[in-house]
C-alpha cells in the first residue's frame, strides 16, 4: 500500500475529513494537497537515509515515535502537540523553514490552494506520512524480523513514485482520479 492510500484510507477517510475541516478545504482539495506535499517529504527522507546513520535514525523514529497514532485518531490532527511533532519532523527531514516555505509555494502552484494554508498544513501532513511509514515498518518488521535499507527505501519511494500512475508526466489527473474513486464508494 502506498502512503497516500494509507493516509486517505485511514479510519475510512476520517483523516482527510479532519484535515479538510481544519484547513477549510474540500476533500478533493485536501487529497490534492497531500499529493503535492508528500513527494517533497519523500525526497527529504531519501536524502536523510543516504546520510551516515540516516537509516538507523529513521528506523528508530518509526519504531519508537508512536507516529501511527496520527492515522488511528484523526481527532489528534488539530492539536498543538501534532503541529509541534510535525515541525520537528520537518526540521529533521527538510532542514529549514525556508525549504518548508518553498515546498508550500510549489504545492500552491500545482493545487491552486494558498501557500499560507499549505504551510500550516505541512507539519500535520508530515505526522501523517511518518504515521503511515511507521505502520508499514511495523508490519514489515513483524514479517521479516527487521526493516532493512531496501525495504525502507521502497516504502519512501512509494511516496514519491506513486503519484503519476499513468506516467504521463502529470500527477493532477491521477490524484483527481483517485479522489473520485475514493469518495464515490
pLDDT at 183 over 80: no
Q: Where are the beta strands (DSSP E) in 10-160?
A: none
Structural domain boundaries in the chain:
3-183
Tens-digit pLDDT profile for residues 24-42: 999 999 999 999 998 888 8
Distance CA(171)–CA(185), nearest Å, equals: 22
Mean pLDDT of 60-89: 83
Of the candidate ranges 58-62, 82-86, 163-167, the one whose mean pLDDT is the lowest = 163-167
pLDDT at 165 over 90: no
pTM of this structure: 0.74
Picking from 109, 98, 96, 125, the residue whose alpha carbon sits closest to that of residue 20 is 125
> pLDDT category, 143, cuts 50, 70, 90?
very low
Tens-digit pLDDT profile for residues 15-24: 899 999 999 9
Distance CA(58)–CA(124), nearest Å, equals: 18
Amino acid at each position: 500500500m502506498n502512503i497516500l492510500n494509507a493516509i486517505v484510507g485511514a479510519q475510512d477517510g476520517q483523516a482527510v475529513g479532519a484535515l479538510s475541516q481544519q484547513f477549510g478545504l474540500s476533500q478533493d482539495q485536501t487529497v490534492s494537497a497531500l499529493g503535492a506535499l508528500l513527494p517533497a517529504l519523500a525526497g527529504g527522507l531519501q536524502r536523510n537515509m543516504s546520510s551516515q546513520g540516516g537509516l538507523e535514525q529513521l528506523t528508530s523514529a518509526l519504531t519508537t515515535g508512536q507516529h501511527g497514532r496520527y492515522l488511528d485518531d484523526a481527532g489528534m490532527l488539530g492539536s498543538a502537540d501534532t503541529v509541534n511533532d510535525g515541525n520537528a519532523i520537518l526540521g529533521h527531514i527538510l532542514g529549514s523553514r525556508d525549504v518548508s516555505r518553498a515546498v508550500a509555494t510549489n504545492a500552491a502552484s500545482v493545487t491552486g490552494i494558498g501557500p499560507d494554508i499549505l504551510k500550516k498544513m505541512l507539519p500535520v501532513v508530515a505526522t501523517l506520512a511518518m504515521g503511515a511509514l511507521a505502520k508499514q515498518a511495523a508490519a514489515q518488521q513483524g514479517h521479516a524480523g527487521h526493516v532493512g535499507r531496501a525495504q525502507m527505501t521502497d516504502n519512501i519511494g512509494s511516496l514519491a513514485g506513486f503519484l503519476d500512475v499513468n506516467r504521463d508526466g502529470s500527477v493532477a489527473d491521477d490524484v483527481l482520479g483517485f479522489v473520485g474513486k475514493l469518495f464515490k464508494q
